[in-house]
Structure 1
Amino acid sequence: MSHAAKAGALGAVSVCAVILSSTAAYAIGDDNVEPPSSGRPSGDASGATLTAAATATGIKVRQVSGGSSGSSHEPLAPVDPNWEPPACWYEPVATSQQLKAAVDRLKKNPNTNLVHVTPTLSWGEELMVDHYEKGTAKTGSGAGYENYNLDKDGRFWRGVINKNREDDPESAVCERTLFWQNSGNLPDDEHAPTPDVLAGYAYDKINVPTTEVEVNPVTKSTVNLPTWVWLDKGTFKEVRVRAELADAGVWAETTAKPVALHLEPGTDDAETRPASGDCKINDDGSIGTPYSKGDSDKTPPCGITYQRASSGRPYELKASITWQISWEGSGGTRGDLPNGTFETTRDMTVQEIQSINR
């Protein structure tokens, strides 16, 4: 990961670290107001650990184009089975003043623990005072910070776990304790929230239309006569999702563009058109050609010819739409990610008749 990709201005920090007590969870920097439920710790605490809170993130995600992500939309499956979204990354969490205020509350209530020191470790008063106020270095935590770096311009950062990968061992690698980062650029760390990291995070949030292909004949296909398959233009469009970590001045927009339709007839006794089964997208955004009256003797650009009747049990036609994935982000960055696919199925009844009136 290049240093150029890591460059980015830091803005105002959102408050994600919290103080956990027996009565309430308080956001750093606010002595009276509880944080929203989405950022509140949850799950079981054991000793000094609290793992569930580590998934709270300041990254905001929204679908910029391509429709909503409602019930008629579903997530993509990457073509590359080895590709996964980022497991964890670092985010700014508190100013010097906010961290000092949190530790001051610890002093008033020694039974309170500070979560988000790492994704899986909470520190109590003694360790927090020693490391961030007195500047005492702690094993595995690097040099300490005198008086919370109150005379410096920057933020304290923490590790965040991707909620969709919190059971993955890779999610535990962002285990640095709260560390200081001067304002102006991202940490020099392979798990910094660079635009490519946010692009991968956005990919995991893409939902595409659950579009079914059009076929003719609609009810029953016929042995040795072509079944036309197509998707009208406008049936699906590019889907663009934006992920932004405003606190770090970093953003990325990941775009999924439909580029092809792949057909699997559901039986070896069939021929696809083209022979590969890959129907390319047309210049107008459609795939294939709609059937018109009088086309029964023509060969469809996208379709299937079944050579054996379905014998009472329909064949399962699988139609997989390939989506090409690219991204662009802050600092003029851009790149590609593995293609995604979305598969739909359709029952195809094939009758043993050699000619039909279409």
Structure 2
Amino acid sequence: MRFGARTGTVLAASVSAFVLSCTAAHAIGDDGSQAPPSGGSGGASGGTLTASAATRIKVTQKSGGTGGSTQPLAPVDPNWEPPACWYEPVATPQQLKAAVERLKKNPNGDLVPVTPSLSWGEELMVNHYEKGQDDTDSGFSYKNYNLGKDGMFWRGVINKNRENDSESYDCERTLFWQNANTLPDDDHAPTPDVLAGYAYDKINVPQTEVELKPAARSTVNLPTWAWLDKATFKEVKVRAELPDAGVWAETTAKPVALHLNPGTRDAETYPASGDCAINDDGSIGAPYAKGEADRTPPCGVRYLRATDGAPYQLKASVTWQISWEGSGGAKGGLPDGTFETTQAMTVQEIQSVNR
């Protein structure tokens, strides 16, 4: 997956012609001609947005992960991160022209963001996007805002969850034109794999406590059964789409295994690895039935020493397998995710128990 760094071109110009994103900037298209963006970096005040504008990626929970308490997954691969930035369509020719016209009426007012960290004033905007003049040797310019052409102007967007990372400033390509139904030839284009990584970062799974028998008080040398009912274990699917770019991806988290860590070396797990596989019906382990106290459970733990004051902390972590599919028939996988819960276990020194 290509979420690596790419250095963009930041144009040199006089201080009076541009400012950094800490200064208020016009929201391109804030004339009511488009739906407000959501879910990204930036803030709105008085009809303006900061230069690091919010993303227009639409996130939809397709299945699972709703109701009750949910939490995000932790990727098994500690080096994996969601994309730091990408490019998005932000303005039609008419919307860009409207933003510059507002500048003409108030040259000392808000500026127009052309990168996540850079905004331009009237002179540069008029020269580059209206008159077709390239007075910064940048190698690009447009006449009359490309009015009449089919496409949009694109700009970089920063992932709000990574806005303090240096890679967040790799999308510094100045506001550029992209023909309709095409994606930029750029490492940070919003391809399906980028949207899949963005969707992964939005996945929340249920906070599921493992069923135990006995539930909180176990007995030395007798097994504690552990299981998860199939009704508890469901796939979670999140869709991320960028409508103006015609790109989408659906990322699916599928529960595949349960790992038990008894919280002490004085214990044995079943199976010995502590990894309880998922059954064909979607459940894990098997519920305890009366009279099975001495049987070996398919998933569980046996404590060999009683607790002394503080209970053992039994950790149960569920592994979720991550896959995705997207526009154009694209598909792939992402690192597995885990979610861990901890349950206190008191173990008593009794050799027999009536269950």
* Interval containing the TM-score (normalised by the shorter chain): 0.7 to 0.9
Higher deviation after alignment, 258-267 or 54-63: 54-63
Q: Aligned equivalents of 2:243 and 2:231: distance in 1?
A: 33
Q: Is the 8 A contact 1:83 1:338 kept in 2?
A: yes
> Which amino acid in the other structure matches residue 252 of structure 1?
A
Q: Does 1:260 align with 2:261?
A: no
Amino acid at match of 2:198: Y
Name 2:210's counterpart in structure 1.
Answer: 213
- Aligned residue in 1 for 2:199: 202
Q: Which amino acid aligns with 2:203?
A: I
Distance 1:163 1:27, change over 3 A: same
Question: 2:26–2:110: 8 Å Cα contact kept in structure 1?
Answer: no
Give structure 1 stretches of 5+ with no counterpart.
3-19, 45-49
What secondary structure, in the 3-state scheme, does the structure 1 residue paired with 2:333 have?
strand
Give the TM-score normalised by structure 1: 0.87
Contact 1:74/1:208 (<8 A) preserved: yes
- 1:51 Cα deviation from its structure 2 partner: 9.2
- Check conservation: 1:27, 1:33, Cα contact below 8 A: no
Contact preservation (8 Å) 2:41, 2:158: no
Which residue number in structure 1 is paired with residue 280 of structure 2?
283
Pick closer, same or farther for the CA change 1:292–1:250 going to 2, 3 Å: same
| Structure 2 residue runs without a partner (length 5+) | 3-20
Identity of aligned residues (%): 75
Q: 1:158 aligns with which of 149, 155, 158?
A: 155
Partner of 2:340: 343
**8 Å Cα contact 1:78/1:340 also seen in 2:** yes
Change over 3 Å in CA distance of 1:161–1:230 after alignment to 2: same
Deviation at 1:291, TM superposition (A): 0.3
Opposite residue 288 of structure 1, the aligned amino acid is: G
Matches within 5 A, 1:7-156: 27-29=27-29, 31=31, 42=43, 53-68=51-66, 72-139=69-136, 141-156=138-153
Contact conserved, 1:113 with 1:122, CA < 8 A, in 2? no
Count how many residue pairs are aligned between Structure 1 and Structure 2: 333
CA separation of 1:140/1:335 partners in 2, compared to 1, >3 Å: closer, same or farther?
farther
* CA displacement at 1:26 relative to structure 2: 6.1
- CA distance 1:53–1:25, change in 2 (3 Å): closer
Residue deviations 1:229-281 (CA, integer Å, cap 9, x gap): 11111112000000010110000000000000000000000010111100000
Q: Is the 8 A contact 1:55 1:163 kept in 2?
A: no
Give the Cα–Cα distance (whole angstroms) in 1 for the partners of residues 146 and 253 of structure 2.
43
What is the letter of the counterpart of residue 190 of structure 1?
A: D
- Taking structure 2 as the reference length, the TM-score comes to 0.88
Paired residue type of 2:43? S
Whole-Å separation in 2 of the counterparts to 1:105 and 1:79: 49
Aligned pairs for 1:184-333 (under 5 A) are 184-333=181-330
